[in-house]
Every structure is written in structure tokens, then in C-alpha cells.
Amino acid sequence: MLREVRVENGVVRGLPAADPRITSYKGIPFAAPPVGKNRWRAPQPKEDWEGVLEAFQFAPISMQATPGINQDNIYDREWHVDPDIPMSEDCLYLNVWTPAKSADEKLPVFVWYFGGGLQVGYPSEMEFDGERLARRGMVVVTINYRLNVFGFLCHPEITSEAPNAPANFGNLDQQFATQWVKRNIAAFGGDPNNITIGGQSAGGGSVLSQLTSPQNEGLCQQAIIQSGMFTPLYPHNRMPGPGRTLENAENEGVKFFDFLGVSSLAEARKLDGEFIRTKALEYRSFWGTVIDNKFCVGNSFDLFLENKRLMVPVLIGHTSSEFFSKPNVKTKDELKDMAVKMFGDNADEFLRLCQFESGTIEEIVERAAVSGIEYAIRVAGKANVDTGANVPIYYYNFDAEIPGWDNPGTFHSVDLWFFFETLAKCWRPFVGKHYDLARQMCNYWANFIRSGDPNGKDVTGEDMPQWNPYTPDEPFGMVFKDKPEFTREEPSDLMNFLVDEFSPRKQ
């Protein structure tokens, strides 16, 4: 087993995982600590170390709101359970699980970006244990990155100091870590020429950002986007994703410096990190990816549609009950006005599909509601063919029954327990059908990471249900319910209408 390896900065020692055929390395630094002069700066190379670095435990999490203190929050009950977890600005570390017995095995590599709205989250969350995927013959890497004001603040002085990397430091951490993987993963038995990047929620949005950054040619060979592709549908429905300009973000940074009581970048870099964290929580602003025309050159969804992206196979989907978009109207007249503005001469068809003449405005609005992520994926799938790209896109919908006293439904992020096959770490009373589904989902993900095609056999030796790529002629996907089933049900007439009507000019 590869219990000790040499990477570019020195020797690293790992430990046997729960399955001793897997070696885990936790807390490997991939960049210099982003403190002092490195605060609000692109990640910098790590200095070499002497001796052997014992990578036996997870590094501190990024600066963020204290996890685990609000039991009314489903995520604090689900996995952000430890309010005493170590937290530090010195957070640029990654973790590796490998089944390799030697460094020459050239195993496929999976690099994971966690979610949390770019405000919270960490790779040591219990659902992100990479052992089960590693047991399927791959090297799994989970990376940490800077969040919130530490990862995404902008300011005119920062831009002046580093015009080629003025913003998006959290995204640059992801990029830097993935580049570290390309340079070093062969030491762990991985293949630097077969890397899949994946993420969920803001981690999935980060995958989309990486795919559409002009800086990333050759970064990966496959990509997985879980609940992370969005585009606006109805007016006044807020959607995540890069939209702010650098100038607007810089203005917000000036206001935040005023709130901190400092007048320069030099002064702000001397402040204690805990003070900044506390003040940022008081300030209550969203800090995220901005269009800096360096790393991010536009709205990542629009860039994806225009094939200004890495042309690699993508596995993409959502849970069945998350992020529904519905008209933000109070009366039938308001709905009519919205329909005319959005659809012009086709407004009457939209109203017919919503059964406008039947029921109250509340009922009509509910009939008009559709999954915003499903909508975005179907638009992307159509553009993939219409533009002649025809790069495989595999679509899924996670619709399993989720047990628990809170009757949560398929809430945002619950599929993470399944695809990482870490159900045993959860408090929920999962039973045999859930474990079977998790095994099969993990199989599909592993196959895709290996080859860009999710299809293959179960450990039983049986072929799993065939999963075909999404096309407008066959707009189908895999539904993960009690068991995987490739559904051939057409999208609703309303969804088909909305996808056909999509135009960036209307957004």
C-alpha cells in the first residue's frame, strides 16, 4: 500500500482508512497560508518542508459562520454538527484517498469541490468520505478553499496590486489545488491525464466556473455538476451565479473596509482574522464569484451554452424538490403582463398551459412552477445539440424516499449521502433499499469518473440500467428512486414550451 509518497514539497505519510486496502492522507498543504500579505491574494506556492509530513487528520476549515449551533437548520442537524471544529485562515489543504499499491497504476482521479453557497462548508464534512469511491479503483481528492469575504472580497487596491488576479480567490484556490493534483497525483497512483472535477450546489457552480474559465485549458477530462447549474426563468426569481461586475464588487469592498474601520488594504491585512469573520457576519453581505475578465469572463451558464468551455463529458442533475421557480405575481393581470413581456405573441400559449381560466391566482402560479435546475439543464442539453457540440451530457433526477422525523423530502444536498455511499454516517434510519440505491449511484459515478460514461455492471455482475446521453430528441434521464430507472417520459408541455422559448435576451 502507498502509505508514504513524495510530492513536490516533501514527503507525506498517510494512514490506513477503515478499509486498510485504502490509504488516506488528510491535511496536505497545496499552497502557502493565505494570511498576512497573502490575504485577498491569489494562492501562492507552498514552501518545502523537511522530514515527513504526517497527514493524519483534517486541516482546519475555512473562516465562516460557526457550524452546528442552529438545530432548526437541517444542515446543522445533517452534517455541520460540530461547533468546536477547528477553523483558521490557514486553510489551503487537501485530502487524498488512494487504493494504489504502487505509483505507476495510473488510476482515474476525482477532485471534489464542496458546496455551501461559497459562504460555508468544508471537505471534512462526514458525507464527503472518499473511501467508498476509492474502493472502486480511483484516487479521490477533496479540496478546501477560501469562502465568503476571505475568498471573494474585491477592492480597488487589490485590483491595482494584482490586475491579473484581482478577484475570485476561492475559485483560484480550487484551480490551484486542481493544478497541484495534476502535478502530484501520479505519486499516489493517479493518472494526471484522467481527472474529473465535481461538486454540488456552489461546488457544482464552481465546476461550471472552472469549465468556462479561459485559464483552464486541459484542466480535466470529465465534470460532474450536482444541483449547480442555474439560469433565471421568471422575473425576480433570484438565482446564484456570477453576475456582479468587478467594479460593483470593488465598491462593496470599499464599504466593507469602512465598516471594518480601515482605510487601506495594508491596514485590512493587519487585522485579526477572527475580527474580520465576526464583522463580516454582522455586515451580512453575499460574497461570491464576480466577472473579473481574468478567471471569470462572463455568466458561466451563458458561456456553457456558447461552447466557451472545456468540451468534456458532463454528468449533471438535481434532486426532485429543490429550487422551483414560479411567477412572482399577485393577480391574474400581473401574470398576463408578465407573460406578454416574456413570451410576446406566444403569451396565450403559456397561459393555456398554466390553465389560466381555471382556479385562483395561487393555483395558477403553482401550475406554472418548474424546477429551475431542470430547466437550465434542458436548455443546456438543447444548445449542446443545436450548436453542433454534441459532447455527452448525462442527466439525472434524484427522487428517493428520505426517512426521518422531519419528513424532509428530497431536500437540497441529500443525494450526497448516496453518491459518496456514506449512508452509515447519517442519523436517518436508512434501510436496505437505500443502501442498494447508494451502491448503484456510486457505481455510476465511478464509471463516469473512469471513462466519461456512467454505464457498467453492478458488483452483482449484472448490467445496471442503461443511461443514455441527453438530447432534444431523447430528453430523458436517470431517475434515482427506490432503484435506478432510465425514464423515457417526455418533459411536461410547459417545460418544453419554456425551453423552446429560452432566449438570453429575455433574462
Q: How far apart are the first and last CA of the chain?
A: 53
- In whole angstroms, give the CA distance from residue 446 to residue 133: 7
- In whole angstroms, give the CA distance from residue 273 to residue 91: 12
Show Cβ contacts of residue 484 under 8 Å, excluding neighbours closer than 6 positions: 437, 440, 441, 444, 464, 465, 467, 478
- In whole angstroms, give the CA distance from residue 11 to residue 50: 8
- In whole angstroms, give the CA distance from residue 101 to residue 97: 12
- Cβ 224 vs Cβ 196: under 8 Å: yes
Give the three cell numbers for residue 223. 465534470
Phi-psi region at 201: left, alpha or beta (left = phi > 0; alpha = psi -120 to 50): left
Task: Identify which of 238, 232, 387, 226 has the alpha carbon closest to the alpha carbon of residue 315.
Answer: 226
Cα 40–8–54 angle (5° rounding)?
Answer: 90
Half-sphere exposure of 56 (CA within 13 A, CB side): 3
- In whole angstroms, give the CA distance from residue 40 to residue 226: 28
Cα 193–20–449 angle (5° rounding)?
Answer: 25
- Cβ 411 vs Cβ 319: under 8 Å: yes
- In whole angstroms, give the CA distance from residue 104 to residue 2: 11
Q: What are the backbone dihedrals phi and psi of residue 55, each rounded to the nearest 5 degrees, phi first?
A: -95, 70
Strand boundaries in 67-121, DSSP class E: 93-98, 107-113
Active site residues: 201
Helix (H) or strand (E) holding 190: strand 190-200
